[in-house]
Copies of this chain bind each other. A is one copy, B any other.
Amino acid sequence: MITSSANSQIKQIRKLRDRKERHASGTFYAEGLRIVAEATLSGAKIETAVVSPELLTSDYGQQLVRDLVARRVPILEVSAEVFKGLALKENPQGLSAVIQQQWHALEDVQPTVGSFWVALDAVADPGNLGTILRTNDAVGGKGVILLDYSTDPYDPTAMRASMGAVFSQHLIRATFSDFAAWKRRTGIQVVGTSGEASLDYQEMSYPDPLVILMGSERQGLQEHHWQICDSLVRIPMVGRSDSLNLAVATAVTLYEVFNQRRAKDVSQSSASHPSKGIIKQ
Protein backbone atom coordinates (compact mmCIF):
# COMPACT_ATOMS: atom_id res chain seq x y z
CA MET A 1 0.00 0.00 0.00
CA ILE A 2 1.26 3.46 -0.95
CA THR A 3 1.32 5.73 2.09
CA SER A 4 3.29 8.67 0.73
CA SER A 5 1.99 11.38 -1.57
CA ALA A 6 5.58 11.79 -2.77
CA ASN A 7 5.33 8.39 -4.49
CA SER A 8 6.13 8.86 -8.19
CA GLN A 9 2.95 7.14 -9.43
CA ILE A 10 0.82 9.34 -7.16
CA LYS A 11 2.63 12.44 -8.33
CA GLN A 12 2.03 11.41 -11.93
CA ILE A 13 -1.69 10.93 -11.28
CA ARG A 14 -1.99 14.28 -9.56
CA LYS A 15 -0.54 15.92 -12.66
CA LEU A 16 -3.66 14.83 -14.58
CA ARG A 17 -5.46 17.80 -13.03
CA ASP A 18 -3.62 19.77 -15.67
CA ARG A 19 -5.10 19.68 -19.16
CA LYS A 20 -1.67 19.60 -20.79
CA GLU A 21 -0.76 16.45 -18.87
CA ARG A 22 -4.07 14.84 -19.79
CA HIS A 23 -3.43 15.69 -23.41
CA ALA A 24 0.19 14.47 -23.37
CA SER A 25 -0.68 11.18 -21.69
CA GLY A 26 -4.01 10.61 -23.46
CA THR A 27 -5.53 9.72 -20.09
CA PHE A 28 -7.67 11.33 -17.41
CA TYR A 29 -8.45 10.86 -13.74
CA ALA A 30 -12.02 9.97 -12.78
CA GLU A 31 -13.20 9.80 -9.21
CA GLY A 32 -16.16 8.20 -7.49
CA LEU A 33 -18.07 4.94 -7.67
CA ARG A 34 -20.65 6.03 -10.23
CA ILE A 35 -18.18 7.34 -12.77
CA VAL A 36 -15.82 4.36 -12.46
CA ALA A 37 -18.83 2.05 -12.87
CA GLU A 38 -19.94 3.96 -15.97
CA ALA A 39 -16.44 3.79 -17.41
CA THR A 40 -16.38 0.03 -16.84
CA LEU A 41 -19.81 -0.51 -18.37
CA SER A 42 -19.00 1.60 -21.40
CA GLY A 43 -15.88 -0.43 -22.15
CA ALA A 44 -13.48 2.43 -21.52
CA LYS A 45 -9.89 1.30 -21.10
CA ILE A 46 -8.99 1.71 -17.43
CA GLU A 47 -5.23 1.91 -16.99
CA THR A 48 -5.16 1.87 -13.21
CA ALA A 49 -7.76 1.84 -10.45
CA VAL A 50 -6.82 3.68 -7.26
CA VAL A 51 -8.35 2.17 -4.12
CA SER A 52 -8.27 3.22 -0.50
CA PRO A 53 -9.64 0.18 1.40
CA GLU A 54 -10.21 2.36 4.44
CA LEU A 55 -12.49 4.75 2.56
CA LEU A 56 -14.14 2.17 0.33
CA THR A 57 -16.74 0.97 2.78
CA SER A 58 -19.81 0.27 0.64
CA ASP A 59 -20.62 -3.23 -0.63
CA TYR A 60 -21.25 -1.75 -4.04
CA GLY A 61 -17.78 -0.17 -4.12
CA GLN A 62 -16.11 -3.38 -3.01
CA GLN A 63 -17.97 -5.37 -5.66
CA LEU A 64 -16.84 -2.83 -8.24
CA VAL A 65 -13.20 -3.39 -7.26
CA ARG A 66 -13.63 -7.19 -7.52
CA ASP A 67 -15.05 -6.64 -11.03
CA LEU A 68 -12.02 -4.51 -11.93
CA VAL A 69 -9.66 -7.18 -10.61
CA ALA A 70 -11.51 -9.80 -12.65
CA ARG A 71 -10.98 -7.61 -15.73
CA ARG A 72 -7.25 -7.55 -14.91
CA VAL A 73 -7.21 -3.82 -14.23
CA PRO A 74 -4.07 -2.95 -12.21
CA ILE A 75 -5.07 -1.83 -8.71
CA LEU A 76 -3.09 0.78 -6.79
CA GLU A 77 -3.81 0.49 -3.07
CA VAL A 78 -3.25 3.74 -1.21
CA SER A 79 -3.79 5.06 2.30
CA ALA A 80 -6.82 7.24 3.05
CA GLU A 81 -4.51 10.22 3.38
CA VAL A 82 -2.92 9.68 -0.03
CA PHE A 83 -6.37 9.17 -1.58
CA LYS A 84 -7.63 12.42 -0.10
CA GLY A 85 -4.58 14.18 -1.47
CA LEU A 86 -5.58 13.08 -4.97
CA ALA A 87 -9.29 13.68 -4.52
CA LEU A 88 -11.05 16.68 -6.02
CA LYS A 89 -14.24 16.27 -4.00
CA GLU A 90 -14.73 16.28 -0.27
CA ASN A 91 -15.58 12.98 1.39
CA PRO A 92 -14.09 10.80 -1.35
CA GLN A 93 -15.49 7.30 -1.69
CA GLY A 94 -12.13 5.54 -1.97
CA LEU A 95 -12.25 4.57 -5.65
CA SER A 96 -10.90 6.39 -8.67
CA ALA A 97 -9.24 5.49 -11.92
CA VAL A 98 -6.83 6.60 -14.59
CA ILE A 99 -8.65 6.01 -17.86
CA GLN A 100 -7.67 6.32 -21.50
CA GLN A 101 -9.25 9.16 -23.41
CA GLN A 102 -11.18 8.12 -26.47
CA TRP A 103 -11.27 10.40 -29.49
CA HIS A 104 -12.68 9.81 -32.93
CA ALA A 105 -11.20 11.31 -36.08
CA LEU A 106 -13.47 13.60 -38.08
CA GLU A 107 -12.33 12.05 -41.36
CA ASP A 108 -13.65 8.66 -40.19
CA VAL A 109 -17.15 10.03 -39.52
CA GLN A 110 -19.53 9.00 -42.28
CA PRO A 111 -22.82 10.78 -41.75
CA THR A 112 -25.68 8.32 -42.05
CA VAL A 113 -29.42 8.97 -42.07
CA GLY A 114 -30.81 9.22 -38.57
CA SER A 115 -27.62 10.61 -37.09
CA PHE A 116 -26.79 14.08 -35.86
CA TRP A 117 -23.92 15.86 -34.15
CA VAL A 118 -23.37 19.02 -32.22
CA ALA A 119 -20.38 21.16 -33.23
CA LEU A 120 -19.23 23.64 -30.60
CA ASP A 121 -17.01 26.57 -31.44
CA ALA A 122 -14.64 27.43 -28.62
CA VAL A 123 -16.91 26.28 -25.78
CA ALA A 124 -15.19 27.61 -22.65
CA ASP A 125 -17.17 26.31 -19.67
CA PRO A 126 -16.59 22.64 -18.79
CA GLY A 127 -19.98 22.48 -17.05
CA ASN A 128 -21.68 23.59 -20.26
CA LEU A 129 -19.75 21.05 -22.31
CA GLY A 130 -20.64 18.22 -19.92
CA THR A 131 -24.30 19.23 -19.90
CA ILE A 132 -24.37 19.34 -23.72
CA LEU A 133 -22.90 15.81 -23.84
CA ARG A 134 -25.61 14.67 -21.42
CA THR A 135 -28.42 16.28 -23.45
CA ASN A 136 -27.10 15.04 -26.79
CA ASP A 137 -26.99 11.53 -25.37
CA ALA A 138 -30.61 11.92 -24.16
CA VAL A 139 -31.91 12.82 -27.63
CA GLY A 140 -29.90 10.17 -29.45
CA GLY A 141 -27.19 12.42 -30.92
CA LYS A 142 -24.00 10.68 -31.99
CA GLY A 143 -21.39 12.98 -30.55
CA VAL A 144 -19.84 16.37 -30.20
CA ILE A 145 -17.32 18.03 -32.52
CA LEU A 146 -15.10 20.46 -30.60
CA LEU A 147 -13.84 23.20 -32.86
CA ASP A 148 -10.67 25.20 -32.32
CA TYR A 149 -9.97 26.26 -28.70
CA SER A 150 -12.68 24.36 -26.86
CA THR A 151 -12.49 23.23 -23.26
CA ASP A 152 -11.68 19.62 -22.36
CA PRO A 153 -14.49 17.03 -22.02
CA TYR A 154 -12.15 15.16 -19.65
CA ASP A 155 -12.00 18.12 -17.27
CA PRO A 156 -13.46 16.85 -13.97
CA THR A 157 -16.32 19.37 -14.06
CA ALA A 158 -17.25 18.43 -17.63
CA MET A 159 -17.13 14.74 -16.77
CA ARG A 160 -19.34 15.15 -13.73
CA ALA A 161 -21.88 17.26 -15.64
CA SER A 162 -21.98 14.71 -18.47
CA MET A 163 -23.32 12.05 -16.08
CA GLY A 164 -21.49 9.34 -17.99
CA ALA A 165 -22.25 10.65 -21.48
CA VAL A 166 -18.53 11.45 -21.85
CA PHE A 167 -18.11 7.69 -22.28
CA SER A 168 -20.97 7.14 -24.73
CA GLN A 169 -20.79 10.21 -26.95
CA HIS A 170 -18.31 10.27 -29.81
CA LEU A 171 -15.78 12.99 -29.11
CA ILE A 172 -14.11 14.69 -32.04
CA ARG A 173 -11.58 17.53 -32.12
CA ALA A 174 -11.10 19.55 -35.28
CA THR A 175 -10.00 22.89 -36.57
CA PHE A 176 -12.70 24.94 -38.21
CA SER A 177 -11.04 24.52 -41.60
CA ASP A 178 -10.94 20.72 -41.21
CA PHE A 179 -14.60 20.84 -40.25
CA ALA A 180 -15.37 22.93 -43.35
CA ALA A 181 -13.48 20.49 -45.57
CA TRP A 182 -15.34 17.52 -44.04
CA LYS A 183 -18.66 19.26 -44.60
CA ARG A 184 -17.82 19.89 -48.26
CA ARG A 185 -16.66 16.32 -48.79
CA THR A 186 -19.58 14.58 -47.10
CA GLY A 187 -22.24 17.11 -48.04
CA ILE A 188 -23.66 16.99 -44.51
CA GLN A 189 -26.06 19.84 -43.74
CA VAL A 190 -25.02 22.31 -41.04
CA VAL A 191 -27.55 24.43 -39.17
CA GLY A 192 -26.20 27.25 -37.02
CA THR A 193 -28.01 29.14 -34.29
CA SER A 194 -27.62 32.88 -33.94
CA GLY A 195 -29.57 35.67 -32.34
CA GLU A 196 -29.11 37.56 -35.60
CA ALA A 197 -30.75 34.90 -37.80
CA SER A 198 -34.19 35.69 -39.18
CA LEU A 199 -35.57 32.14 -39.33
CA ASP A 200 -37.38 30.93 -36.19
CA TYR A 201 -35.86 27.62 -35.02
CA GLN A 202 -39.33 26.04 -35.11
CA GLU A 203 -39.98 27.06 -38.72
CA MET A 204 -36.96 25.05 -39.87
CA SER A 205 -37.38 21.52 -41.15
CA TYR A 206 -34.14 19.98 -39.91
CA PRO A 207 -32.26 17.89 -42.49
CA ASP A 208 -31.03 14.37 -41.79
CA PRO A 209 -28.14 13.74 -41.21
CA LEU A 210 -27.33 17.01 -39.52
CA VAL A 211 -24.78 19.04 -37.58
CA ILE A 212 -26.04 21.74 -35.21
CA LEU A 213 -23.33 24.41 -34.93
CA MET A 214 -23.26 26.50 -31.75
CA GLY A 215 -21.07 29.53 -31.04
CA SER A 216 -19.15 30.19 -27.86
CA GLU A 217 -20.56 31.51 -24.56
CA ARG A 218 -18.91 34.89 -25.00
CA GLN A 219 -19.35 35.55 -28.67
CA GLY A 220 -22.06 33.33 -30.08
CA LEU A 221 -21.71 32.24 -33.69
CA GLN A 222 -19.14 34.35 -35.49
CA GLU A 223 -19.67 35.77 -38.94
CA HIS A 224 -16.94 33.62 -40.46
CA HIS A 225 -18.93 30.57 -39.29
CA TRP A 226 -22.09 31.67 -41.05
CA GLN A 227 -20.71 30.87 -44.48
CA ILE A 228 -20.44 27.19 -43.63
CA CYS A 229 -24.08 26.97 -42.50
CA ASP A 230 -26.80 25.80 -44.87
CA SER A 231 -29.30 27.53 -42.59
CA LEU A 232 -29.23 29.82 -39.60
CA VAL A 233 -31.97 29.73 -37.01
CA ARG A 234 -32.87 31.95 -34.10
CA ILE A 235 -34.36 30.93 -30.77
CA PRO A 236 -36.94 33.59 -29.93
CA MET A 237 -36.74 35.46 -26.62
CA VAL A 238 -38.94 38.11 -25.08
CA GLY A 239 -37.02 39.01 -21.91
CA ARG A 240 -34.44 41.64 -21.05
CA SER A 241 -31.56 39.59 -22.34
CA ASP A 242 -30.77 38.59 -25.91
CA SER A 243 -29.08 35.32 -25.13
CA LEU A 244 -29.51 32.00 -23.37
CA ASN A 245 -27.00 29.89 -21.52
CA LEU A 246 -25.11 27.84 -24.15
CA ALA A 247 -26.17 24.45 -22.75
CA VAL A 248 -29.79 25.67 -22.63
CA ALA A 249 -29.73 27.03 -26.19
CA THR A 250 -28.21 23.76 -27.42
CA ALA A 251 -30.84 21.72 -25.54
CA VAL A 252 -33.74 23.79 -26.88
CA THR A 253 -32.45 23.31 -30.45
CA LEU A 254 -31.70 19.62 -29.97
CA TYR A 255 -35.17 18.94 -28.58
CA GLU A 256 -36.70 20.63 -31.63
CA VAL A 257 -34.66 18.32 -33.91
CA PHE A 258 -35.58 15.33 -31.77
CA ASN A 259 -39.28 16.25 -31.68
CA GLN A 260 -39.41 16.68 -35.45
CA ARG A 261 -37.83 13.26 -35.95
CA ARG A 262 -40.19 11.67 -33.40
CA ALA A 263 -43.19 13.19 -35.18
CA LYS A 264 -41.89 11.89 -38.51
CA ASP A 265 -41.32 8.39 -37.12
CA VAL A 266 -44.84 8.36 -35.70
CA SER A 267 -46.39 9.60 -38.93
CA GLN A 268 -44.44 7.04 -40.96
CA SER A 269 -45.41 4.16 -38.68
CA SER A 270 -48.98 5.46 -38.67
CA ALA A 271 -49.02 5.45 -42.47
CA SER A 272 -48.19 1.76 -42.46
CA HIS A 273 -50.53 1.09 -39.51
CA PRO A 274 -53.49 3.39 -40.14
CA SER A 275 -55.42 1.79 -37.28
CA LYS A 276 -53.22 3.77 -34.87
CA GLY A 277 -55.46 6.76 -35.50
CA ILE A 278 -55.05 10.34 -36.53
CA ILE A 279 -51.57 11.66 -35.96
CA LYS A 280 -50.40 15.13 -36.73
CA GLN A 281 -48.29 15.13 -39.93
Contacts and interface: CB of A to CB of B under 8 A. Distances in A.
Interface of A: 127, 131, 134-135, 137-140, 161, 163-165, 168, 202, 235-241, 243-245, 247-248, 251-252, 255, 258-259, 262
18 contacts: A127-B127, A135-B244, A135-B245, A139-B238, A140-B238, A164-B240, A165-B240, A165-B241, A168-B239, A168-B240, A235-B255, A236-B258, A238-B258, A247-B247, A247-B248, A248-B248, A248-B251, A251-B252
Contacts of A255: 235, 252, 255
B262 A138 contact: no
A248 B135 contact: yes
Copies of this protein chain in the complex: 2
A245 B245 contact: no
Nearest to A252: B255
Nearest to A168: B240
B252 A163 contact: no
Contacts of A164: 240-241
B138 A237 contact: yes
B138 A259 contact: no
